[in-house]
């Protein structure tokens, strides 16, 4: 094999060319000593078989797609285009960030209903260079370590109510910078910890997305907007809104609270729950209402606070149940608030429907 090293003249200002030149020389030297097992461009879908000890490493442009079988370690600095297939029971272990742009905007998981595959993120990020759809009746498991999926403004769509992402207990899946569509069931996004960061959740008008499970925890970071007219029902272990973050329920949506009354954690006054022409339904029988101890509740347009016509203070919608709590309610100009049930501020009842 013949290796030719070409010294590239310095370009750019402030020594940037020297850095670029050193990077290129390192890549060429790595090719020469065989540190990069694959260099080049593939013209058809490539099968990487982890059962045979194969890995997906190197400076390769898989422009026709990639098929993973068994447990496969992946570290590809170039974007993967074309069909991306995780065969049934395969595990993709990310040894670095990965960028994909799947053919037909679909991540293929197995070849039949009920197929499942897994991603071990190892703390890395899966970048979406286009929209991504989880096919009907398939399951994507998040195992091993935490994973970030960065949509870069693209859409993540669940194919039907049986298309699932299951997060292993104690692991965290972060979904950021994306619009999520197709949520309409109780087992589509379940398991361990889910962090939503700068996300729009687009619910169909009749859809009810239920986030449930005794170990399920959700974090809200940045701006998260629920829109479209459907309902988000929370029945997990904890829902936390971080500082300088907002969870917004837009026009005609419903925030159904069916968890423990103390399971909503607002970091401080910069953590907002914004009900904008929407309904807050705090179930009185199932979860004994909801308590706001910190954070800011903002009410805009016509808002309904539904406590199931409850008349029991212990099952109420409550703000600041002791002198150390710091919850704030802001009612925007022109807003209308309808109360059904029992709402109290501190130990003193303020409004009763």
Residue 349 has pLDDT above 50, yes or no: no
What domain count does the chain have?
3
Whole-angstrom distance, CA of residue 301 vs CA of residue 306 = 16
Q: Which comes out higher in pLDDT, residue 27 or 116?
A: 116
Q: Is residue 184 part of a domain?
A: no
Separation of alpha carbons 221 and 198, rounded Å: 7
Per-residue pLDDT tens digits for 198-223: 999 999 999 999 998 778 899 999 99
The pLDDT confidence band at residue 130, using thresholds 50, 70 and 90, is: very high
Confidence of residue 180 (pLDDT cuts 50, 70, 90): very high
Q: What is the pLDDT of residue 117?
A: 97
Q: Is residue 84 part of a domain?
A: yes
β-sheet with 342-345: strand ranges across: 290-292, 317-319, 342-345, 348-352
Which of 178, 211, 232 delimits the end of a domain? 178
Rounded Cα–Cα distance for residues 118 and 166 (Å) = 9
Same domain flag for 239 and 299: yes
Please check the confidence at residue 42 and state whether its pLDDT lies above 90. Answer: no
Please indicate, yes or no, whether residues 161 and 248 belong to a single structural domain of this protein: no
The answer on 81 and 5 residing in a single domain is no
Residue 106 tokens read as 């679909």
Q: Residue 2: what pLDDT? A: 39
Same domain, 1 and 135: no
Mean pLDDT calculated for residue range 179-192: 91
Residue 176, strand partner residues? 150, 197
What Å distances lie between residue 341 and 24, 184, 337, 346, CA to CA?
68, 28, 13, 16
pLDDT of residue 121: 97
- Residue keyed to tokens 């002791």: 322
Cα angle value 210/213/217 (rounded, 5°): 90
Per-residue pLDDT tens digits for 69-109: 999 999 999 999 998 999 999 999 999 999 999 988 999 99
User: At 323, is the pLDDT very low, low, confident or very high (cuts 50, 70, 90)?
Assistant: low
Residues 237-269 have pLDDT tens digits of: 999 999 999 999 999 999 999 999 999 999 999
Residues 6+ apart with CB under 8 A from 188: 158, 161, 163, 164, 165, 182, 209
Domain check: are 31 and 67 in the same one?
no
Structural domain of 330: 203-353
- The three-point CA angle 251-256-259 to 5° equals 150
What pLDDT is attached to residue 104? 87
pLDDT value at 1 more than 90: no
- The answer to whether residue 2 is domain-embedded is yes
Residues 239 and 148 in one domain: no
pLDDT tens-place string over residues 2-33: 334 444 444 333 444 444 555 555 444 444 43
- Residue 306, in any domain of the structure: yes
Query: Mean per-residue pLDDT for 310-333?
Result: 84
Phi, psi torsion values for 28, nearest 5 degrees: -65, -40
CB 256 within 8 A of CB 233: yes
**What pLDDT is attached to residue 151?**
98
- pLDDT tens digit sequence for 272-320: 999 999 999 998 877 889 999 999 999 999 999 999 988 888 889 988 7
Please report whether residue 193 resides in a domain: no
* 185 assigned to some structural domain: no
């Amino acid at each position: 094999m013949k290796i030719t090293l070409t010294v590239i003249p310095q370009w750019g200002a402030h020594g940037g060319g020297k850095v670029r030149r050193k990077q290129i020389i390192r890549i060429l030297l790595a090719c020469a000593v065989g540190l990069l097992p694959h260099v080049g461009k593939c013209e058809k879908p490539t099968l990487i078989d982890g059962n045979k000890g194969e890995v997906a490493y190197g400076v390769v442009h898989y422009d026709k797609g990639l098929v993973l079988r068994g447990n496969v370690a992946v570290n590809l600095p170039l974007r993967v285009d074309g069909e991306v297939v995780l065969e049934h029971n395969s595990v993709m272990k990310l040894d670095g960030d990965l960028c994909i742009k799947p053919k037909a905007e679909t991540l293929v998981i197995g070849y039949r209903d009920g197929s499942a595959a897994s991603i071990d993120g190892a703390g890395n990020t899966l970048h979406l260079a286009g929209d991504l759809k989880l096919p009907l009746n398939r399951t994507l498991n998040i195992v091993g370590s935490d994973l970030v999926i960065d949509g870069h403004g693209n859409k993540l769509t669940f194919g039907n109510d049986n298309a699932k992402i299951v997060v292993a207990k104690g692991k965290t899946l972060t979904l950021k910078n994306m619009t999520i569509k197709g949520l309409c069931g109780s087992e589509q996004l379940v398991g361990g910890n889910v962090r939503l960061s700068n996300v729009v959740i687009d619910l169909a008008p009749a859809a009810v997305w239920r986030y449930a499970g005794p170990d399920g925890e959700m974090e809200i970071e940045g701006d998260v907007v629920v829109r479209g007219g459907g309902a988000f029902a929370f029945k997990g272990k904890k829902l936390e809104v971080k500082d300088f973050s907002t969870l917004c329920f837009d026009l005609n949506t419903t925030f159904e609270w069916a968890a423990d009354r103390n399971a909503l954690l607002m970091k401080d006054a910069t953590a907002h729950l914004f009900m904008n022409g929407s309904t807050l339904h705090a179930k009185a029988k199932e979860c004994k209402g909801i308590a706001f101890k910190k954070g800011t509740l903002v009410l805009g347009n016509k808002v309904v606070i539904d406590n199931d016509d409850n008349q029991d203070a212990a099952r109420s919608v409550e703000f600041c149940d002791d002198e150390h709590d710091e919850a704030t309610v802001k009612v925007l100009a022109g807003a209308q608030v309808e109360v059904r049930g029992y709402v109290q501020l501190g130990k003193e009842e303020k409004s009763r429907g």
